[in-house]
Amino acid sequence: MQQWYSLSDPGMEEALIEVPTMRRFAGIDLISDRIPDETTILAFRHLLEKHHLGEQIFQTVKAHLKEHGMAMKQGTIIDATLIAAPSSTKNKAGKRDPEMHQTCKGKQWHFGMKVHIGVDKDTGLIHSVETTAANVHDLTPAADLLHGEEEVVYADAGYQGIEKREEMEGKTVKFRVAMRPGKRRALPDTPDGRLENLVEAAKAHIRAKVEHPFRVIKQQFGFQKTRLRGMTKNHCKINVLAALTNLFLARLQLLCGT
C-alpha cells in the first residue's frame, strides 16, 4: 500500500489511522490491534531489504500472472530509464548519495540511478529488473534482462552491438535493434530506403510497449525521484514497484478471470 500510494513512513502511519479500507486490507482491527507507527514501518522495510524480499514479491506476482495465462516467453523488449536522486548536500553526512552518479543525456546532465527492465513483447508485462548507477551503460546489464526462452529481442539504438558482446555468445536469439536516428534520417528516398524506414517504424511500434511500465512506475506510483539512499534500498523498492506495475497493467484480465 505504501508503494501503491507513494506514501512516506509517517504518511503510511497516518493513512492506517485515518482510512478504514487500508486497515481492512492490512488486516488491522482498530479496537484490538495496534496501528504500526512510522518506526515499525521503517523496520519492516529494512526487513524486506535485508532478506531480498522485494525480488521474491516480484517473482511471486509473475508466478500468479502465469497461472492466469499471462506467460512471458516469446519475445523481450529491453530498455532503461533514469530516476533522479537528490543532489542536495544538506543532510547529516553533508554529501550526495555516494552510490548514485551523474550521466549526460541529450546535452543535459542527470544525477541518480537507472532502472533496466525486460518486458514481454506480447503482454507488455515486466519479467526482469536490474538497477544501476546512472553512469552505467545500458548494454552492461542487458544479458541479465533476458530470461533465456525468448526468440527475439527488441531494443532502441542505444543497444547497438549487443549481439557482439561476450555474454551473448552462443545465444540463438534474434536481435531487432533500432537504427540510429541520424542514419535513419539519411535513408534515401528509394524503394529500398522506404522499405527500411517501414521496418524501423514496425520495430518502434513494438518497442513502444516498454514505455507503458515506465509510465506506471513514474506517474501512477510516483517514482520519479529517489527518497531512499543506496542502491540496495532502491533495488528492493523497484522490484516491489515492478510487481505492482504488472498487477496494474493486468488488472482487467485478472478481474475478468475471477
User: Domain residues for 112?
Assistant: 71-256
28 shares its domain with 96: no
Within-domain flag for 242 = yes
On the 0-12 / 13-18 / 19+ scale of CB atoms within 10 A, 186 is exposed
Distance (Å, whole) CA 181 – CA 210: 19
Continuous segment of H or E residues that includes residue 228: none
29 shares its domain with 117: no
34 shares its domain with 150: no
134 shares its domain with 100: yes
Distance linking the first and last C-alpha atoms of the chain:
22
Within-domain flag for 56 = no
Residue type (1 letter), 15:
A
pLDDT in tens, the chain (258 residues): 999 999 999 999 999 999 999 999 999 887 778 899 999 999 999 999 999 999 999 999 999 999 988 877 779 999 999 999 988 776 677 788 999 999 988 888 999 999 999 999 999 999 999 999 999 999 999 999 999 889 999 999 999 999 999 988 888 899 999 999 999 999 999 999 999 999 999 999 999 999 999 999 999 999 999 989 999 999 999 999 999 999 999 999 888 865
206 shares its domain with 109: yes
DSSP 29-82: -TTTSPPP-HHHHHHHHHHHHHTTHHHHHHHHHHHHHHHTT----SEEEEEEEE
1 shares its domain with 117: no
Task: Look at residue 258 in the predicted model and tell me its pLDDT.
Answer: 53
Region label for 106, one of left (φ > 0), alpha (ψ between -120 and 50) or beta (otherwise):
left
110 shares its domain with 212: yes
Within-domain flag for 220 = yes
Within-domain flag for 59 = no
184 shares its domain with 249: yes
Continuous segment of H or E residues that includes residue 237: helix 231-249
41 shares its domain with 103: no
Instruction: Report the number of distinct structural domains present in the chain.
Output: 2
Cβ neighbors of 25 (< 8 A, separation 6 or more) are 1
43 shares its domain with 101: no
Within-domain flag for 192 = yes
Cβ neighbors of 98 (< 8 A, separation 6 or more) are none
Region label for 222, one of left (φ > 0), alpha (ψ between -120 and 50) or beta (otherwise):
left
Task: Look at residue 68 in the predicted model and tell me its pLDDT.
Answer: 87
* Vertex 48: Cα angle to 141 and 232 (nearest 5): 35
Say which CATH number the domain at 131 has: 3.30.420
15 shares its domain with 142: no
Residue owning grid cell 529488473: 129
126 shares its domain with 17: no
CB 110 within 8 A of CB 96: no
